[in-house]
Amino acid sequence: MPDSSNVGAPVRNSPRGRYRFREYHVTTVPGPLALPTFEAACVTGEEHNCGATSGTLNNPDELTRWIAGHCAQSGHELYEQTVRALVRAEPGAWQ
């Protein structure tokens, strides 16, 4: 709660200035030596997720097959998919 005796008093010793921020543009390029990896987790469930995971796979078709198999066995329809890939940053110019 503000001190009522200081209401409306000018603020002293406060720094004033104008700041300008520039953007640094970076382009990402896939890493030449690393292939992307894929993973899925079944998140079907009302109170808690099923928790079944595909593990790390190297091909999106393998991931689709795992999801199809788990769906056929359990009837679960909601999955979280993660794709991991190494990328190299190529710095651009300040703007």
Digit-coded pLDDT (tens) for 14-33: 566 666 666 667 777 888 78
Q: What is the mean pLDDT of residues 36-46?
A: 93
- Whether residue 81 lies inside any domain: the answer is yes
Q: Which of 20-24, 67-71, 76-80 has the lowest mean pLDDT?
A: 20-24
Supply the range of the domain harboring residue 47.
Answer: 36-95
Task: Give the per-residue pLDDT at 29.
Answer: 80
Per-residue pLDDT averaged across 37-57, rounded?
93
Mean per-residue pLDDT, 73-90: 91
The two three-digit tokens of residue 20, written as one number: 């300008």
Give residue 55's identity as a one-letter amino acid code: G
Q: Is residue 21 included in any domain, yes or no?
A: no
Q: Which two tokens stand for residue 63?
A: 């991931």
Task: Compute the distance between CA of residue 25 and CA of residue 29 in angstroms, rounded to an integer.
Answer: 13
Does residue 76 fall inside a structural domain? yes
In a domain, 72, yes or no: yes
Per the structure, the count of domains in the chain is: 1
Do the domain assignments include residue 5? Answer: no
